[in-house]
Structure formats: C-alpha cells, structure tokens
Structure 1
C-alpha cells in the first residue's frame, strides 16, 4: 500500500511549487484579513460582541477539525484531487459570502471557506513530499515563508481594500489567487495515485468526538475571560477521554492515537508547536492594542511596527533551514528557543515612554526566534514520518497551530480584561516567559540523538 511517488513526472517544479504556495496562503490570509472588517460587519448585521466572537471562533473550530481530516483523505484518495476540491470550496464561499443577508448565512460561508482552506495545506505538503525530491526541506521552508507573509500582511491588505470597497472585498480578493492556483495545479501537478486496497472507511463517531472535544475546550478557554467554568472543564476532560479510548480501539481511526502514544517524540513536536504558536499569536493579538492605547500610535503606525515580528521571522526561515541542513535540528532549535526567552524577557524593558526603535528591536528579536522555531519544529516532524503519513501529519500540525491560537486568545482576554496598560502587558510577558522556558526541555527531547542525514527525506 503506497502512494505513487515519481519526481520525474514533474517537468517544471517551480510552477508546481507556485501552485501550492498560492493555495497555502489562503488559510492564514483569511484568518487575519477579517479582523479589520469586523467593525463594519458588526454594524451591517447589528451583531453583538458575542456574535463576532463566534464568527472568529467557528473558523478555528472548523479548521482544527478538517485539517487532519483533509490530510487523511488526501493520503488515501490522492493529494491533487483533495487540493482541487479545497480550491473549489473556497471559490464558492468567496463568491457567496459578500452576498450575505444574515449572520447565519455569512457564518455558513465562513465555515465552507474554513473547510476549503483546511484541505489546501495538508494536501499541498503531501504533493511536495510526493513529487519534489531535491531540496525538499527548502521547498517546505518556502511554503512557511509565504504563509507567514500572508498572515502578516492580511490586516494591512484588508484595511486598504475595505477603505475603498467595503468589507465584501476581503472575500473577492481570494478569487484571482484561486484561479491562478487552479490553472497551475491542473497543468503542472501530475495525478497521484490513491492508496490501493479497500475504500476509505469513515470514522464518523471519531470525527464527531474530535469536533466535540475541540468545541468544548474552545468554549472553556474562552470562558476564562470571565471566570473558571468547572462544568465546561469537566465536559472537556470527559470528551477528550472518550475520544482517546474510542480511537484507541478503532482499526482505522480518524486520528491514530496509538501511533502518537507509541511515538512520543512526534506527540512532543505537536506540543512544542502549540507553545511556539501561543507565544507568537499572543503578541500578534496584544501588541497592536498596546501600541495604540498605551504608546498612542495610530493604527497604520502600529501595523507597521508589528511587521517587525513577521518580517524577521520570514527572513530567519531560510537561514534556519540551511543551518539545520548543515548541523541537524538540535543546535538551531535550542538557539531559537534561547533567543525567544531573551526577546520575551525584554518585553519588561519597555513602557509607554520608551523609544519606538527599541520596541521595534525587541519585537524583531522575537520574530527571529519564531522563524527558527517554526520551520525547525515543522521540518523535524516531517523527518520523523513517512511520505504516506505526511498529509495527516501536516494536518495535525496545523491543528496544533489553531490550539495555540485559542490559548493565545484566552490569554489576551484574561490579561486585558481590566484594561490595557504596562502592568497587564507585563502580566502577559510573565506567562509567555514561563512558556518560552518550557520550550527548552521539549526541544532537548525531540532532538535527542539527532543526526544529520546525508540525504534529504
């Protein structure tokens, strides 16, 4: 049972990579673009803050569920087919969402958009792993760079477009990207064979339980903004245990929990990715508010300041990739973690009277750390799994990212409930410093006995 793997079928690998890049950026781009549009959407549909919160949360819930599912389906039925279906779903939502006449219709279109974009990353990584043999890690690094860039520029792009054309334009902007990706995919990506054997058996109960546990944990974490909800916490624990023991007994589970328990290093990679995302996204959420309300910058200046994190993360990604190719994972990942501790520690070193250049430098240091940690952790995962497992592995990696986003959102709500000031900024920094320190032993564990391979996987 194997997936056809023939790099010689690819005549123009650069255009194959371009097709995947265009699809991969859609999920992070649509995650950040809508943030600027929320006030206009709230006014048009007369929504409460709770309605808006669920408009955002639903995207994370659906993405967290469907990324591993799409990875599983792409491993089984063929990556190109699932990738094209994902593009089709995003195009449908991008055309119909601007025509929404109610909150429920818009929520439905965002759900379809989340399902479609969730298919693109795991299927795209699977295509790269199947057809790109040379410099595979560098190709994956390129995808990470473009994903980071699209997320970073999402608010800036949507802010400029909304000023001239209103909030519907954030959906229409997807269409030229989708069309270009679809054409390149149809022309330059070969058909890959599905796994031979019996048809894929849907684990409906496992999928439902996974959706329930993700929803319960998200509701619990978001409730921490107000108070600790004991019953929601208990329900989250119960659904998690039900999911684990049910999947453990399944012959063909939705998520192979036995595989994760037998391969603790892979499980720890996902845990590390959650912690890395928590630090990064907590700052992406909190610093713009801090810069505007405490430092008193306008939104445009605050946005430009925030580019320091993403810009330096983007610059560090290819550097870290080449470093890893030369010396292995351990040293680059530990250095990235140490730089992260330094950067988060320096959050205590500025306040409302600090020079903007100094704040820019502190955020840039954190960006350097994130660039090294993100690509290093991601590539360490792909070094541990087979090509046939790459779809589900990448899907679970992105699910880990969404869990980190949820934790960061909860931290933001908890710490800024009483107001935005230097004291609460420092409270966030304390939590993030603890998390940054915890990353060190995890990196030591997942890189234990790490050796440089003479041949790229």
Structure 2
C-alpha cells in the first residue's frame, strides 16, 4: 500500500513538474527566434524586447493573483485552466500576422503558464506527504534551470519550421500533464466560502509600477526621461504605502520588514537572475547575428549553459548540506564575476568553443547560486510562511527577468555588435560586484545547516 501511494505521488509530481516548466521554457525558447521575428515584423531591438518584457510583466502580476484564485476555486481546476490557456495560445501564436497579435497570444500564454506554478505548489502541498518540502524546493529549482534548455530546444527545431514551431513544442508537454492531472490528481475538496477581499487597488498599483519602470528603462536609449522616472518613483511609493496598510494585500510588503536577511536574499535573487537571463537572452541573437551561426548550432552551443546549470544543482545541494551556505555562495559569486568578465572577451572572431566555455562558467555559477539562495531563504523563515516566501521568490525571478530584458533592449538598441555586447558585459560586471558585500552579510549567520 505504501509503495502504491508513493507511485501515485510520483505521477502527481510529474504532472505538476511538466506544467511548471512551461513558463520558463516559453520565456527562453523565443530567444533563438528573436532575429527571425524581428526581421519578419520589421522591428528594432527596443520593440522586440517588449515581446520578452511583456511576458514577464504579465507573469509577475498574475502569478500571485492566480495563487489566490486557486485557494478559492481549487488548485486542480486552476491548473487545468492554465493548461487550456497555453493550448489556445500555442495554436494561435504561430498564426499571428503581426506583432500586436503575437503580443496578445503571448499574453494569453503568460497568464496560462502563470497559473501552473502556484496551483501546482498547492497541489503538492495537498497531496504529497513524503519529503514535501524537498519536492517543492526541487520544483522551484527545476522551474528555473529548465529555462536554460529553451534556446537549445528552439534552436534545434526552428530549422525545420521557422519561429512558429517553438509554440507547438508545448502541445505534447501539455497533453501528458493534462492526462496525469485528470487521472491522478484528486478533485479539489469543497471548502466553506472564503472571505478574501480582492485588493484591486493593490493589483492596479503593482501593475502600473512594474510597467512604468519598464517604460523608463527602455526609454534610456533616447535619453534620461526625468518625468517618467518621477512618475515611476511616485507610483512605487504609493504602492508600498497602500499595501503596507492592507490586512490582505496583493503583495505582502510587511513580510520584508521581518528580517533584513530575507529582503536582501530576494534582492540577491533578482540580481542573480538579471545576469543569468541577460546572457541567456543576448547570446543566441549574438551567435546568429554576429558569428553567423545557424539556429541549430546556436542551440547546441547554448546547451553548455543548461547542462552545467542542471548538473551543478545537485552537487551544490550536497556541498551546502556539508559545508553550510557561506563558502558555496561566495564561491558562486566569484564564478558569476568570472563569467561576465569572460563575456566581455567575446567578439566576432571568437571560436564557438570559447563561447561554450563562457556559458559553462555562467551555468556552474547559476546552478550553485540558484539552489543556494532558495535554501538560504527557507532557512530564515518558518514552515508556515513557505507559501508566501515561494510566491515572492517567483515574483523576484520575474522582476530580474524584466530588468534583464530592459538591459538587453537598451544595450542593443543600435544593433547587435561587439561594442554593444561589451557594454552589456560591463553592466553585468557592475551587478556582479554588488553581489559580493551583500552575500557576505546574509551568510554571516546561518540559522540551520540542514536543507530538508
């Protein structure tokens, strides 16, 4: 009976895992397709960056929102709804005749994939009874590291059907997840009517905050827009003050006030994501546009990043179980800095093996830092707060992705070339340097060594 229950739980985990990877995969599969989409729709780098940024903005808004909806209407129902939206978008997106329609279908896809993580975590909490915290942590890491495989998958497939084919990749994944969900995930238990008060003003202010900051960052190409900066700062302050006073806020800003370490860890996670995704976003386009590689060769080269990130994660987990967080995380920051310094050496004469080495260094650094920061975060919070902590961690990842896409849009606004790649690398070096003192601070005291 115990073996049967464990087997059943494994099938539930597979169903959730397949849904969870759809968001990170769809954020990165499109990176190899950007040159073709840009050419087909006659876009500049700033315009094409909105195809990336809008996905993250929608994800950042809807992930916590749908998390609350799943508590009200059932995790399984919301999970199935999310899969349905991704199916619709994956069929319609390849048929888009212009950029506005492609943005709309990508927006539908972002809403659908945003439903899958919070609903999936809720399903795990309700139905998985063996090593639940480890399963949730693994899914969170899986959701992040799987993003690194996006460029490889799309690079290998685009040669057969152009950029539209990347959307069809979702269909078999959704099919398997849907079948497992229907047959193995129990129905949601009926609960008493909830008294949750929807924070409409908070949702609106949060949406305006990240959107206006995005507009400001992308407008830097044309000069420093003081008016836009002022509006962004005012709305940010309004959002914070309003949410601080709410009993049931959309984003629990008071959670950050409990412990400075928690706030700094989220900040570290944002900056770490900025570096990782900026590399993930820019190099596929650089390889095709400057080194003139095919989509297939680009995908194979990018595999260096994903393989090393994935392989390093379990090794880093065992390392931290034995040595604690401080040495592994400080080592990862050193690797991050080395990686972005090496990134600045890449130019139009660089051999592909050198690009692969640079990607490998970045992959190793991300593998250690990703799992390390997540487990360090959970070491500072009570188990009762793991839900809000994981939700805010995902929001932090989206904010990091938004910043990275902004850097990409500004850095390459005048075209993809060696000079602009170096400019982006110098920005990332600055970000990597910031990571050092903060990591020294948050790892100075460890509440517990165990990563269970």
Short-chain TM bin: 0.7 to 0.9
Preserved CA contact (<8 Å) 1:15 1:188: yes
2:255 paired residue among 232, 246, 259: 259
Matched, 1:80 2:71: no
Q: Equivalent residue for 1:341?
A: 337
Matched, 1:222 2:223: no
- Structure 1 CA distance for aligned equivalents of residues 226 and 96 of structure 2: 37
Matched, 1:128 2:124: yes
- Structure 2 CA distance for aligned equivalents of residues 31 and 433 of structure 1: 24
Residue 311 (structure 1) shift? 1.5
- Structure 1 CA distance for aligned equivalents of residues 451 and 316 of structure 2: 18
2:275 paired residue among 276, 279, 284: 279
Q: Equivalent residue for 2:305?
A: 309
Matched, 1:234 2:234: no
Matched, 1:17 2:13: yes
Residues 47 and 434 of structure 1: CA distance in aligned 2, closer, same or farther (over 3 Å): closer
Residue 52 (structure 1) shift? 4.1
Q: Equivalent residue for 2:204?
A: 208
Preserved CA contact (<8 Å) 2:205 2:239: yes
Preserved CA contact (<8 Å) 1:69 1:392: no
Preserved CA contact (<8 Å) 1:93 1:110: yes
- Any gaps of 5 or more consecutive residues in structure 1? 1-7
Residues 43 and 150 of structure 1: CA distance in aligned 2, closer, same or farther (over 3 Å): same
Residue 411 (structure 1) shift? 2.3
- Structure 2 CA distance for aligned equivalents of residues 455 and 57 of structure 1: 33
The 5 A counterparts of 1:73-222 are: 73-75=69-71, 78-100=74-96, 103-136=99-132, 138-140=134-136, 142-144=138-140, 146-148=142-144, 150-191=146-187, 198-222=194-218
- Structure 2 CA distance for aligned equivalents of residues 310 and 317 of structure 1: 11
Residues 211 and 445 of structure 1: CA distance in aligned 2, closer, same or farther (over 3 Å): same
Residue 162 (structure 1) shift? 4.1
- Structure 1 CA distance for aligned equivalents of residues 350 and 43 of structure 2: 38
- Structure 2 CA distance for aligned equivalents of residues 33 and 137 of structure 1: 29
Residues 443 and 196 of structure 1: CA distance in aligned 2, closer, same or farther (over 3 Å): farther
| TM-score w.r.t. length of structure 2 | 0.87
1:247 paired residue among 235, 243, 247: 243
User: Which range moves more in the overlay, 421-430 or 114-123?
Assistant: 421-430
Preserved CA contact (<8 Å) 2:156 2:299: no
Partner SS for 2:222: coil
| TM-score w.r.t. length of structure 1 | 0.86
Residue 19 (structure 1) shift? 0.9
User: Which range moves more in the overlay, 314-323 or 209-218?
Assistant: 314-323
Preserved CA contact (<8 Å) 1:70 1:392: no
- Any gaps of 5 or more consecutive residues in structure 2? none
- Structure 1 CA distance for aligned equivalents of residues 40 and 80 of structure 2: 33
The 5 A counterparts of 1:357-436 are: 357-386=353-382, 389-418=385-414, 420-436=416-432
User: Which range moves more in the overlay, 292-301 or 206-215?
Assistant: 292-301
Residues 437 and 134 of structure 1: CA distance in aligned 2, closer, same or farther (over 3 Å): farther
For the aligned residues, what is the CA RMSD? 3.1
